[in-house]
Amino acid sequence: MGEQDGEHGGQVGLGRDSDLLGVDVEASYSVGPGQQPQHLGDADLGGDPDHEVAAAYGTAFDVEHPDDVLRRLGALSRVVGATLRNTANPTMLNAGYKTNVIPGRAEAQIDGRTLPGYEDEFFATIDELLGAEVRREMVNYDVPLETTFDGALVEAMSAAVHAEDPAGRAVPYCLSGGTDAKAFSTLGIRGFGFSPLRLPPDLDFTGMFHGVDERVPVDALQFGARVLDRLFDSC
């Protein structure tokens, strides 16, 4: 996403005034986590005290202090918290082809995820943080989206969960990962993510995403299969 070009690289032993790789690394580091302002969307923790997520955890919601609600969510706080602000994480750096040759070009790739309606703010913040010496190029872009938590499908999902777990309730949140809902939205189709798992409270499920030990308990998977079976029967 960010790159810098300079004079043709030369012999390291001769030295050089500019440091393309250093500038690129510094710029990439500057756009890391925590640099974006916080926002609340309709599908997240909400903007009123009786919102579903806050109510499910028995706490009043304070729009000025959403972190108070996040702390009550346990392992789920990582997922929900990631969708309260735009995020940018440098994930790849590339420069040079040989140890003793100064790079003539340095490139960094940044994973950016934007909240619906805050794309312009995201790119303005990124450009400000990168500075004048780094050029930003788009590698891939997809639309951020959200939808309201209502309708016959939402009612069916909630009923399927409640049938297998009377204390369970379906609550809305925005997912920071990309799904096919982005493509379907261009056709006017609303999408909901629904992967029911009844997980033990001490399992850091979200912390294992894309990890070498990513897994779910067998009984959680069996619970999810029963819930989905009920949902499909009702549709």
CATH code for the domain of 229: 1.10.150.900
Question: What pLDDT was estimated at residue 27?
Answer: 58
Nearest to 145 by CA among 190, 207, 205: 190
91 sits in which H/E element: strand 87-95
**In a domain? residue 70:** no
- Alpha-carbon separation of residue 35 from 24, 28, 30, 44, 80 (angstroms): 17, 12, 8, 20, 17
Q: Each residue of 139-175: b (16+ CB within 10 Å) or e?
A: eeeeebbbbebeeeebebbbebbeebeeebebbbbbe
226's CB contacts (< 8 A; 6+ apart) are: 164
Question: What pLDDT was estimated at residue 28?
Answer: 56
Residue pair 69/58 in contact by the 8 Å Cβ criterion = no
Question: What pLDDT was estimated at residue 67?
Answer: 75
Question: What pLDDT was estimated at residue 45?
Answer: 43
Question: What pLDDT was estimated at residue 222?
Answer: 96
Q: CA 48, 50, 56, 61 torsion: positive or negative?
A: positive
Report pTM.
0.70
**In a domain? residue 219:** yes
Give pLDDT tens digits along the chain (235 positions): 555 555 545 544 444 455 555 555 565 556 655 556 666 655 444 443 336 666 676 766 666 777 777 777 776 777 777 888 888 888 888 888 888 888 888 888 888 888 888 899 889 988 888 888 888 899 988 888 888 888 999 999 999 999 999 988 888 888 888 888 989 999 999 999 899 999 888 888 878 888 888 888 999 999 999 999 999 999 8
CATH code for the domain of 92: 3.30.70.360
**In a domain? residue 78:** no
- Rg of the Cα trace of the chain? 22
Residues 29 and 92 in one domain: yes
How many folded domains does the chain comprise? 2
**In a domain? residue 211:** yes
Distance in angstroms (rounded) separating the CA atoms of residues 46 and 6? 47
**In a domain? residue 53:** no
29 sits in which H/E element: helix 20-30
User: What separation, in Å, do the N-terminal and C-terminal C-alpha atoms of the chain show?
Assistant: 43
